[in-house]
């Protein structure tokens, strides 16, 4: 029982970071209806910049944080301009494949920057842990959770209490209607990407600083986690993304503990598949993506 709860605790902590990633995917998908396959790789590249600074310039942790986030944002802008802004709005698959092509580019840039498989990533500015009864809380985990909570609160405030947030929600709802309100969807999308890159950079930093190593495959890994978490919770809602992240985190830690590493990833995909088949709207969705959703959605 203690193990189970400890796993839940660990799961929630990691899940918080997954939730942030899911929020990133959710916002971008919500506002553009297109999937950005380069989101993970952008974070990976930002992290590589951070690592490079750490290794060659001996940068301090806070410096690494800033470089990671900045790197992610710059890469995000590149992706947005090339793959999304430049392509017709209704060509969803083209944008996706374009972002995939850019993913390949980003991976190669990372490998050119730092050849080799794995690099150490600086640890977080805190370490150690807390004991609370029979349970152990890693300092990195607590920091992740704290920062994630702060960010989610911040994002909610941004979305619901600011003009920008209103415009973003309007564009997600209907870009045409938003135009009649005087909103420029392209500009909103651009800033949404910046926002999402910031979130991603932070989430990436938290995950890597906990793990203390980084590889070029981090991009792929992040993409999977973010997508699954987003889908689990139901697309189109911040709360859903967060819940999806937490659920994913818990599923992972529990299966890893009881069934071993081999089943950890598989169980995530299995749950994902089950959710999609049984409740495509996600756990928080309305279960209404029904047989005749043909009536309201075109590929």
Partner 1 sequence: MLIVEDVFTSYGMIKALNGVNLSALEGEITCLLGPNGAGKTTLMFTIAGILRAQAGAIKFDGQSIERLSAAKVVEAGIALVPENRLVFPTMSVEENLVAGAFIRVAKDRAGVDDDIERMYTRFPVLKERSEQMAGTLSGGEQQMLALARALMSRPRILLMDEPSVGLAPLIVEEIFQIIRDVNADGMTIMLVEQNANMALSVADKFYLLEHGRVTFEGAPGELEQDDVIRRAYLGTE
Partner 2 sequence: MSDYAVSIVSNMGMIAFIALSAYVLLVVGNISFGQQAYFGIGAYISGVVTAMWGWPLWLAIVLGCAVAGSAALVIGTLTLRLSGIYFAIATLSFAEMIRLGLLSVHVQVEIDGELVGPDGAEGFGDIRWIFENDVTPFEFMTIIYVLLIGVLMVLVWVERSRLGAVIRMVGGDPLLAQAQGIDVVFYRLLATVFAGIIAGLGGCLYAHFTTYIEPNVFNVMLGVHSLAYGLIGGLGTAFGPLIGVGLDIGFLEGIRVFQGYRMIVFGGLVAVLLIFMPRGILDEERVHRIKRWLERS
> Which does residue 286 bind out of partner 1, partner 2, none, counting CB within 5 to 8 angstroms by kind?
partner 1
What are the percentages of helix, strand and coil residues in the chain, rounded to 5? 75, 5, 20
> Which does residue 100 bind out of partner 1, partner 2, none, counting CB within 5 to 8 angstroms by kind?
partner 2
Q: Encoding tokens for residue 161? A: 């209490």
State the maximum Cα–Cα separation within the chain, in Å, rounded to a whole number: 58
Does residue 228 contact residue 272 with C-beta atoms inside 8 Å?
A: yes
- By C-beta, is 277 or 288 nearer to partner 1? 288
Q: Is 288 in the site for partner 1 (CB under 8 A)?
A: yes
β-pair partners for 135: 132
Q: Is 3 in the site for partner 2 (CB under 8 A)?
A: no
Q: Is 297 in the site for partner 1 (CB under 8 A)?
A: no
In eight-state DSSP terms, residue 128 is: -
d(CA 228, CA 200) in angstroms, rounded, equals 15
Site string for partner 1, 224-263 (x = CB under 8 A): ----------------------------------------
Pick from 14, 27, 68, 107: which binds partner 2 (CB under 8 A)? 107
- The residue range among 14-22, 61-69, 121-129, 290-298 that interacts with partner 2, by the rule CB under 8 A, is 290-298
Count CB atoms within 10 A of the CB of residue 194.
Answer: 16
Task: Give the length of the chain.
Answer: 299
> Which does residue 287 bind out of partner 2, partner 1, none, counting CB within 5 to 8 angstroms by kind?
partner 1
Strand extents, DSSP E, the chain:
119-120, 129-132, 135-138, 213-214
- By C-beta, is 163 or 299 nearer to partner 2? 299
Q: Binding residues for partner 1, per CB under 8 A?
A: 281, 286-288, 290-292, 294-295
């Amino acid at each position: 029982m203690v193990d189970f709860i400890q796993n839940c605790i660990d799961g929630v902590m990691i899940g918080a970071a997954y939730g942030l990633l899911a929020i990133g995917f959710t916002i971008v998908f919500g506002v553009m209806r297109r999937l950005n396959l380069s989101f993970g790789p952008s974070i990976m590249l930002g992290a590589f910049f951070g690592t490079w600074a750490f290794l060659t310039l001996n940068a301090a942790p806070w410096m690494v944080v800033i470089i990671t986030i900045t790197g992610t944002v710059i890469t995000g802008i590149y992706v947005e301009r090339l793959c999304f802004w430049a392509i017709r709005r209704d060509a969803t698959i083209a944008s996706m494949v374009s972002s995939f092509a850019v993913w390949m580019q980003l991976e190669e840039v990372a490998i050119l920057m730092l050849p080799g498989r794995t690099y150490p990533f600086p640890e977080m500015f805190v370490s150690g842990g807390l004991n609370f009864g029979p349970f152990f809380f890693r300092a990195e985990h607590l920091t992740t959770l704290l920062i994630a909570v702060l960010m989610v609160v911040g994002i909610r405030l941004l979305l619901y209490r600011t003009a920008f947030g209103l415009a973003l929600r309007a564009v997600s709802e209907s870009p045409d209607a938003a135009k009649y309100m005087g909103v420029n969807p392209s500009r909103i999308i651009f800033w949404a990407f910046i926002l999402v890159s910031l979130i991603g950079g932070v989430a990436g930093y938290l995950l890597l600083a906990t793990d203390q190593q980084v590889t070029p495959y981090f991009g792929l890994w992040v993409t999977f986690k973010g997508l699954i978490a987003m889908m689990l919770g139901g697309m189109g809602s911040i709360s859903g993304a967060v819940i999806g992240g937490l659920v994913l985190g818990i599923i992972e830690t529990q299966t890893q503990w009881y069934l071993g590493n081999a089943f950890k990833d598989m169980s995530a995909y299995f749950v994902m598949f089950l959710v999609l088949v049984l409740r495509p709207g996600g756990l928080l969705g309305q279960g209404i993506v029904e047989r005749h959703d043909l009536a309201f959605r075109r590929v």
